[in-house]
């Protein structure tokens, strides 16, 4: 059975597409109990994401109430750009993710070439999943420091040609609609928080509280959510865990120009480099994940060490901030051994009263976290924009 967060997204998607217009339709489409559908629908009505009106055609018994999205028509286009891939998707005006697709890119090709590719991919996904629907706004998440809400990259490492690039203006010029640009870890943390809040409301009535989110992929991004808001800091550049200095790091040179950063030992690209150096056929994070899933003992040991190094870095943050939850996202979070090593090190290094009530888990929003977060950001932006 699907978890409540995905039930919520599926219900919104069914209502947005018109494939379901009542609770009965949702029960049939989702194959869950009527009481489960009722609680999901009640929550969506409370949020104002959907409306209930009139009565539909009865199939015997009481006539069903018609359910529909609050704002009919139009979609948001959302994109997450990684070092080697881009993920594009569409969100409904309520922020629900309707479709997502991924394709390979090389971020080193620079902004113009990459944005041409993304524009084509977004046109394709709109033609396939929302033909004729108006484009309401676009959102983009980037793997570097973003000056939010101005949408400009600030000195990103591993992104030659991107520093100072005004991503927001480029998107507005291309699509002629409002654009929102955020750092990928912050967008993913927002998506994770929204997903967990929905889940908590259905199952335990308890939300995620103050949350440290780590996006562990080729690089390592971070974000603190406190009081349901992203903590951005003075210049909006908070959450940089990747250049925290860790002990036993071998003093390797980092992409930031310094030495001994977390990124040099605990990231997907560090693991790939290490394994390639040992003669294994590994070129990127995906190969590292595949080799770990194959239970190659050398790889599993290195991945466990990487998780422990991340745990060491996070333990200082947990002791200082006393969050309710630590969530590990990004592609490495699919590896149980990595998440377990982070968890073990946090229990070892943090004060017991802090870990007693601390939830440490892998992301439940998964690879779509950043796209879901962008949908939420765009909906919030639309809510404050005068119509
Ligand atoms: Zn560094």
- Specify the CATH number for the domain of residue 31: 1.10.10.10
- pTM equals 0.81
Helix (H) or strand (E) holding 153: strand 152-153
197 part of a folded domain: no
Residue with the bigger pLDDT between 153 and 199: it is 153
Instruction: Say whether both 288 and 222 belong to one domain.
Output: yes
Q: Is the pLDDT of residue 34 over 90?
A: yes
Instruction: Say whether both 321 and 220 belong to one domain.
Output: yes
335-347 pLDDT tens trace: 999 999 999 999 9
pLDDT on residue 197: 83
Instruction: Say whether both 94 and 147 belong to one domain.
Output: yes
**pLDDT average, residue stretch 342-369:** 95
pLDDT on residue 216: 97
Instruction: Say whether both 353 and 300 belong to one domain.
Output: yes
Cα(85) to centroid(ligand 1), Å: 22
Which of these three, 69, 88, 110, is where a domain ends? 69
Cα(252) to centroid(ligand 1), Å: 10
Cα(260) to centroid(ligand 1), Å: 7
Which of these three, 15, 44, 69, is where a domain ends? 69
Assign 381 a pLDDT band (cuts: 50, 70, 90).
confident
Cα(266) to centroid(ligand 1), Å: 12
pLDDT on residue 13: 83
pLDDT on residue 179: 96
Residue with the bigger pLDDT between 235 and 210: it is 210
* Rg value, the chain, Cα: 21
196 part of a folded domain: no
Assign 203 a pLDDT band (cuts: 50, 70, 90).
very low
pLDDT on residue 61: 62
Instruction: Say whether both 34 and 12 belong to one domain.
Output: yes
User: What tokens does 47 get?
Assistant: 């949020």
Instruction: Say whether both 296 and 216 belong to one domain.
Output: yes
CATH number at residue 135: 3.30.420.40
Instruction: Say whether both 144 and 125 belong to one domain.
Output: yes
pLDDT on residue 62: 65
21 part of a folded domain: yes
299 part of a folded domain: yes
Instruction: Say whether both 283 and 300 belong to one domain.
Output: yes
The percent of residues above 90 in pLDDT, for the chain, comes to 64
Cα(186) to centroid(ligand 1), Å: 19
Instruction: Say whether both 244 and 257 belong to one domain.
Output: yes
Cα(244) to centroid(ligand 1), Å: 7
Cα(280) to centroid(ligand 1), Å: 25
Cα(182) to centroid(ligand 1), Å: 21
Residue with the bigger pLDDT between 297 and 131: it is 297
Domain containing 291 equals 207-364
282 part of a folded domain: yes
Q: Are 222 and 185 in contact (CB under 8 A)?
A: yes
pLDDT on residue 234: 87
Cβ partners under 8 Å of residue 69, min gap 6: 12, 15, 16, 49, 50, 51, 92, 93, 94
Q: Nearest 5°: CA angle at 214, between 230 and 210?
A: 45
How far apart (Å, rounded) are the C-alpha atoms in residues 278 and 182? 37
242 part of a folded domain: yes
Cβ partners under 8 Å of residue 275, min gap 6: 282, 287, 288, 291, 298, 299, 302
**pLDDT average, residue stretch 115-137:** 92
201 part of a folded domain: no
Instruction: Say whether both 232 and 320 belong to one domain.
Output: yes
**pLDDT average, residue stretch 185-193:** 97
pLDDT on residue 386: 46
200 part of a folded domain: no
Tell how strand 211-216 and strand 178-183 pair up.
unpaired
How many domains, the chain? 3
Cα(297) to centroid(ligand 1), Å: 28
38-77 pLDDT tens trace: 999 998 888 777 888 766 655 556 667 788 776 557 899 9
Cα(240) to centroid(ligand 1), Å: 10
Assign 236 a pLDDT band (cuts: 50, 70, 90).
confident
Instruction: Say whether both 85 and 166 belong to one domain.
Output: yes
Instruction: Say whether both 54 and 137 belong to one domain.
Output: no
How far apart (Å, rounded) are the C-alpha atoms in residues 84 and 77? 20
Which of these three, 16, 47, 69, is where a domain ends? 69
Q: Are 88 and 97 in contact (CB under 8 A)?
A: no
Cα(322) to centroid(ligand 1), Å: 25
């Amino acid at each position: 059975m699907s978890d409540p967060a995905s039930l919520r997204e599926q219900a919104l998607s069914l209502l947005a597409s018109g494939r379901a217009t009542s609770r009965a339709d949702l029960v049939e489409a989702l194959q869950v109990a009527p009481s489960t559908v009722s609680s999901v629908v009640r929550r969506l009505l409370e949020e104002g994401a959907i409306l209930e009106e009139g009565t539909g055609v009865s199939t015997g018994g009481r006539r069903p109430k018609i359910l529909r999205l609050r704002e009919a028509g139009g979609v948001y286009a959302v994109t997450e750009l990684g070092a080697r891939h881009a993920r594009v998707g569409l969100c409904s005006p309520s922020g629900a993710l309707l479709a997502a697709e991924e394709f390979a890119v090389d971020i080193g090709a620079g902004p113009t070439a990459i944005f041409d590719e993304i524009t084509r991919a977004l046109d394709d996904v709109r033609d396939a999943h929302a033909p004729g629907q108006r484009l309401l706004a676009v959102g983009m998440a980037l793997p570097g420091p973003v000056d939010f809400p101005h949408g400009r990259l600030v000195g990103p490492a591993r992104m030659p040609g991107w520093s100072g690039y005004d991503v927001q203006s480029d998107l507005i010029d291309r699509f002629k609609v409002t654009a929102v640009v955020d750092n990928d870890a912050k967008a993913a943390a927002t998506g994770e928080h929204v997903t967990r809040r929905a889940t908590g409301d259905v199952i335990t009535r308890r939300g995620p509280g103050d949350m440290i989110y780590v996006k562990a992929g080729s690089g390592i991004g971070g974000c603190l959510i406190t009081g349901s808001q992203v903590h951005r800091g003075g210049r909006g550049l908070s959450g940089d865990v990747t250049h925290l200095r860790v002990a036993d790091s071998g003093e390797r040179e980092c992409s930031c120009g310094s030495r001994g950063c977390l990124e040099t030992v605990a990231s997907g690209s560090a693991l790939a480099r290490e394994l390639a150096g040992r003669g294994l056929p590994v070129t990127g994070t995906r190969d590292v994940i595949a080799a770990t899933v194959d239970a190659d003992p050398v790889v599993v040991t290195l991945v466990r060490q990487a998780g422990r190094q991340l745990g060491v870095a996070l333990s200082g943050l947990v002791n200082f901030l006393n969050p309710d939850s630590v969530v590990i996202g990004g592609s490495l979070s699919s590896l149980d051994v990595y998440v377990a090593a982070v968890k073990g090190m946090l229990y070892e290094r943090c004060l017991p009263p802090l870990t007693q009530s601390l939830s440490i888990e892998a992301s439940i929003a998964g690879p779509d976290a950043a796209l879901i977060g962008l949908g939420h950001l765009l909906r919030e932006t639309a809510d404050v924009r005068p119509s």
